[in-house]
Structure 1
Amino acid sequence: MNATKCIIVREEVWAALSHMREPGMTFSELIEEMIEHEKKRRLGEDIKRIQETEKLVEIPL
C-alpha cells in the first residue's frame, strides 16, 4: 500500500539530504538506502559485540 506522509525536518537537514540524493533519486529511495545501510552497520556491531563477549564453538558440518 502506498501512502504519502509528511515528515518535518529542519532546513539544514533538508539541504543535507538533497545533497546526498543522486540525480533522479526520490527522497523515499534515499531514505530506503539509508535504512539498509544502518541495518547493516548495526548487524556488524552486533556480530563484533558477540565475538568479543561470547565464547563461540565451532560446529562441524
Structure 2
Amino acid sequence: MADNEQPTRIYPCPQCRKPSRWDDNPWRPFCSERCKLIDLGDWASERHAIPGEPTDPMDDFDNLS
C-alpha cells in the first residue's frame, strides 16, 4: 500500500450483517440494493420508528393558516 492510500473500510451491513465495503459502494451503508430496499420497506411499514411523543395528525392542519 502506498503512503497516500487509505485502507479499505469494511462495515457490517445494517440489514444482513454481511461485511460491506464503504468506499465505492453505491448502496452504503448497505451491502446491496436488496438490503437497502428491505430497510426502506421496514420504515414504510412502520417496523422501524424514531422514539418520541405521539402526535395528533390533525395538529398539522392547525399550522396551515
- More relative contact order in 1 or in 2 (CA 8 Å, sep 6+)? 2
Instruction: Give the helix-richer structure, 1 or 2.
Output: 1
Structure with the larger strand share: 2
TM-score normalised according to structure 2 size: 0.30
